[in-house]
Amino acid sequence: MSRLLIVLGVVQLIVILALSWLVGPALEARLLPGVWIWDISVGGMTAEEAARHLQTALPLYQLNVVLLGPDGQRWSFSPSDLGLAVDVDATLAQAYTLGRGGSSQDMLRERLSVMTGGRRFAPVLVWDAQVTEKALRSLADEVDRPPQDAAVRLEGSTVSLVPGRLGRRVELTRALEALTPPLYALERIELVLPVTDLSPGIDDAGAQRALSVAERILDAPLNLLVPHPWEGDPGPWSVNPDVLAGMVVIRTTDAEVDVALDEAALAQFLGPLAVALYREPVDATFEFDPGSIELSVTSSSMMGREIDVAASVARINEGLLAGEHWIPLVVNKIPPQIPDTLTAEDLGIRELVAVGESYYTGSSSARDRNMRLGASKFDGVIVPPDGIFSFNEHLGDVTPDAGYDESYVIIGDRTVLGVGGGICQVSTTAFRAAYFGGYPIVERWPHAYRVGFYELGGFGPGFDATIYTPLVDFRFQNDTPHHILIRTEVNAAQARLRFLFYSTDDGRTVEQIGPEWGDSTPPGPPIYEYDASLAAGTVTQIERAYNGITAVLGRVVRDVEGTELYRDEFVSKFIPWSARYRYGPGYMPPADAEVVSTPEP
């Protein structure tokens, strides 16, 4: 009986001591025994001890995340490398609250339960996904590869195929989704990076089609034809493949490969052809019978022609793509402004509306012939409404081949022999007809010095107009709604040239003002030039002396009601002009002369 009492006393003492420990201050600063963080025992540890233990016991720094690339690459990371960390305070806070709340009995009961049965908690993990994404992007930089389009390579006139290649791209979103569960579980993982194949925009089949087109373009010379050629036309033109290859362009548009000749290069190539094939339309010329008020054709009109370069470029490319190598150029007709089918009624040609005249008394035979030939170029010319008459345009080339002789012309500060001397008699007469007809003068230039021919018949200085084809022109505008027919008339007996304008009289009038001029400037001393071809002791005057003046010719043009349409003036600044002589051997020029050339000693 006494032994049993002793045993019961010992047990009672142990229970009292255990209960004293469970509720005593010894456990206040420690986690209860039996607390586990996953498989890591932290019971009985202080918070600092448990925190240190967790940092080393959890596999945060082990290289247990392995990522595999498509070319056998292998990259190892720890969870910490990928932005994973444990929130120690939050993790331990949930365990520390065990057995520390409620009544003393509840607290004792919970402590006994934890100590006898244990209690497990999951760690509170914090994941910065941006760190993982950054790591994945660095891998993607190594793995990603853009697709390579198939292409056509041109070397000289040889074309070949460059095969395409698949590209690939790491799918970052899928990779992150696959990594999330094992990272939060701190499990070891081997993950093959999810990769998507990227197809090229141009596959081999598309490039092969383009290759066939390029081969078709270059397999034979290109021959350019003129449809309905005129007599004397050049061509056809053959362009060999080497030249064509220099114009071939290969373009990639909308997942297609286009092969064609470069439009700009082809247009540049066609430029000389267009010039060679261009034909200016020819207006008809007419003779007017004032009695019958009818026109008769003196020269027929002719259709013009020009190459439509842009349309020809398009046709050539279309033809080459279709395998054609004999391709006609696109030619447009240019109708004449004045066809020979027009009548006087159509043109509004009813009566004489303006006359311009000049006199050529004393002209040399060469000057006379040049003037007659030049005047004939304008006989029958028609100026359409709002059209601008250009003297040089209708005159054409002034050359010996065109029938012109040498006669004296003004060039700079000299009067010298030149082809076409006397043409300015024609332009001066045309100017006078436009002046008296009241038509706007678009371009008019005076001579360098006063010319006696142009003051014959009572015309004062400044009633002239010089031309020098193709730079210096005389132009006027037909500002009426009716056509103007120009007739030229040469009266040999009176040594007179006339320009006659036929149209419909709109009642306009012209008031002549001047010409007026101020004081004259005398010329310098006579100029003597030695000429060994002259007879001994002889001298010949080749230019007369003229005073220099500034002459102003004006006019006021009014309509049928007397309202002023416009007024203008034509200023002529004539420089003083010295007399010029040529002298032969043995002749002594006057003492006051300017001698520009002497016999060789």
pLDDT in tens, 195-211: 999 888 777 777 777 77
Q: Considering the chain, what is the average pLDDT of its residues?
A: 86
Per-residue confidence band for 497, with pLDDT thresholds at 50, 70 and 90: very high
Out of 277-286, 291-300, 399-408, least confident range: 399-408
- How many CB atoms neighbour CB 179 within 10 A? 23
Which pLDDT value is given to residue 20? 44
pLDDT for residue 17 is more than 90: no
Q: Which residues of 557-596 are buried (b: 16+ CB within 10 A; e: fewer)?
A: bbeeeeeeeeeeebebebbbbbbbbbbbeebebeeebebe
Higher local confidence (pLDDT), 358 or 403 = 358
Contacts of 262 (CB under 8 A, 6+ apart): 247, 248, 249
Which pLDDT value is given to residue 21? 44
Across residues 246-257, what is the average pLDDT? Answer: 75
CA–CA distance from 130 to each of 101, 127, 180, 393 (Å)?
A: 40, 9, 12, 80
For 37-78, the pLDDT digits (tens) are: 888 998 889 888 888 998 889 998 999 999 999 999 999 999
For 165-191, the pLDDT digits (tens) are: 889 999 999 999 999 999 888 889 999
pLDDT for residue 16 is more than 50: no
Which pLDDT value is given to residue 192? 93
Distance, in Å, from the CA atom of 475 to the CA atom of 440, rounded to the nearest integer, reads: 9
pLDDT for residue 529 is more than 70: yes
Which pLDDT value is given to residue 96? 84
HSE-up of residue 216 (Cα within 13 Å, Cβ side)? 16
Which pLDDT value is given to residue 567? 95
Out of 202-211, 450-459, 471-480, least confident range: 202-211
pLDDT for residue 520 is more than 60: yes
Which pLDDT value is given to residue 415? 52
- How many CB atoms neighbour CB 53 within 10 A? 16
What is the crossing angle of helices 172-185 and 129-143, to 10°? 130
Which pLDDT value is given to residue 19? 44
Which pLDDT value is given to residue 416? 52
pLDDT for residue 335 is more than 80: yes
Please report the DSSP string for 354-407 in residue order. EEEEEE-TT--HHHHHHHHHHHHTTTT-EE-TT-EEEHHHHH---SGGGTPPEE
By CB neighbour count within 10 A (0-12 exposed, 13-18 middle, 19+ buried), where does 469 fall? Answer: middle
Q: Pick the closest to residue 82 from 138, 133, 142 (CA basis).
A: 133
Per-residue confidence band for 419, with pLDDT thresholds at 50, 70 and 90: low
pTM: 0.57
pLDDT for residue 332 is more than 80: yes
Percent of the chain with pLDDT over 70: 92
For 144-169, the pLDDT digits (tens) are: 999 987 776 767 777 777 788 889 99
Per-residue confidence band for 296, with pLDDT thresholds at 50, 70 and 90: confident
First to last CA, the chain: 178
Per-residue confidence band for 420, with pLDDT thresholds at 50, 70 and 90: low
**If you average pLDDT over each of 40-44, 277-281, 556-560, which comes out highest?**
556-560
Which pLDDT value is given to residue 414? 52
Out of 111-115, 313-317, 384-388, least confident range: 111-115
- Cis peptide bond prior to 236, omega within 30° of 0: yes
3-state secondary structure of 199: coil
Domains of the chain: 2-60+87-127 (no CATH), 208-334 (3.10.20.800), 348-597 (no CATH)
Which pLDDT value is given to residue 13? 46
Which pLDDT value is given to residue 255? 66
Q: What is the C-alpha R_g of the chain?
A: 54
Is residue 120 within a helix (H) or strand (E), and if so which, with residue range? Answer: strand 119-121
**What token pair was written down for 565?**
């349409």
